[in-house]
Amino acid sequence: MFELDFAARVDRGLVRETNQDVARVIPRLGLALVADGMGGHDHGDVASRTAADVFEQSFTDLGGPGANVRETLERLERSVQEANQYVGQHPATGAGPGRMGTTLVAAVFAHGHAIIGNVGDSRCYLLRYGKLEQLTLDHTLAAHLEQMGGGGPPEGGVPLDQWAHVLTRCLNGDDGVTADTRVVRCEPGDVFLLCSDGLWGSASEHVVMGILGAAQDAEEACQRLVGAACAAGGADNIGVAVARLVPLALHLSDPSWQSTRPSDPPLAT
């Protein structure tokens, strides 16, 4: 048995003039989410805020977590679709390459599982037994090319990492936009991190893992993660949400709850 320790934090970073990230947790729904408005595009802040607001309201209207994992997953998917529709219908949306869009990653903790959905390159990670695993797949040109076994775009000559922030899927009102989903069975001691590329593009996984494992609560973890991204240059907005599954027998600040046993079983999905 465990209890959820939730927190979220956003920061403009050290370079951007505006903030286009949204990060929030809604404990009554067992929900955490992060949205990142498309950098450099018109109204990115409107897109991310609209997506987060509509997703939360839709999931609430559907009754929050369903009677089981499958129903909860279906409600998450429907809420993503509604958020996509509303972003596309927003009065600020225009035609052409400047149309607004946003990423979204959301996790619902219910029925002993984490039900996860993502569109774009905002990520969900899991720290379990001292190991950090990325649970989501980026919807970027670089990730697509890597999956296809290519080293670059058709014209060649461009390093793959140069395409890491070119999104192949986002919430922008286009028909057919769906979330990739994943269901993970939770274990006491798990720590889930949802974040925008302002974190994962700045702080190394080693640094992130160290912060998540050492923080005494979710709020401290969020503060330190933002600090690490800023210390690495803070080139982008930073959005983070952390959910710690604290064993009921231990106090939140007891560091012994985060095991580092190397022989524990692999993640169950």
Determine the Cα–Cα distance for residues 82 and 258; give it in Å rounded to an integer: 37
Tens digit of each residue's pLDDT, the chain (269 residues): 789 999 999 999 999 989 999 999 999 999 999 999 985 556 899 999 999 999 999 999 999 999 999 999 999 999 999 999 999 888 876 554 447 899 999 999 999 999 999 999 999 999 999 999 999 999 988 665 766 665 555 555 555 555 566 789 999 999 989 999 999 999 999 999 999 999 999 999 999 999 999 999 999 999 999 999 999 999 999 999 999 999 987 555 555 445 443 333 344 43
Q: Which of 192, 181, 187 is nearest to 73 (CA)?
A: 181
Query: Which ranges of 90-204 would DSSP assign to H, the alpha helix?
Result: 141-147, 197-200
Please check whether residue 47 lies inside any domain of the structure: yes
8 Å CB contact between 191 and 258: yes
Predicted TM-score (pTM) of this structure: 0.86
Please check whether residue 269 lies inside any domain of the structure: no
Please check whether residue 267 lies inside any domain of the structure: no
Q: Which amino acid would we find at residue 85?
A: Q
Please check whether residue 222 lies inside any domain of the structure: yes
User: Residue 6, Cα to own-chain centre: how many angstroms?
Assistant: 14
Please check whether residue 15 lies inside any domain of the structure: yes
Distances (CA, A) of 192 to 4, 21, 35, 117, 146: 10, 19, 16, 13, 25
Please check whether residue 40 lies inside any domain of the structure: yes
Please check whether residue 262 lies inside any domain of the structure: no
The strand pairing partners of 102, in sequence order, are 37, 171
Determine the Cα–Cα distance for residues 73 and 265; give it in Å rounded to an integer: 25
In the chain, the number of structural domains is 1
Both tokens of 79, joined, read: 């809420």
Domain that holds residue 153: 2-257
Please check whether residue 97 lies inside any domain of the structure: yes
Q: Which CATH number belongs to the domain containing residue 41 in this structure? A: 3.60.40.10
**What is the reported pLDDT for 264?**
39
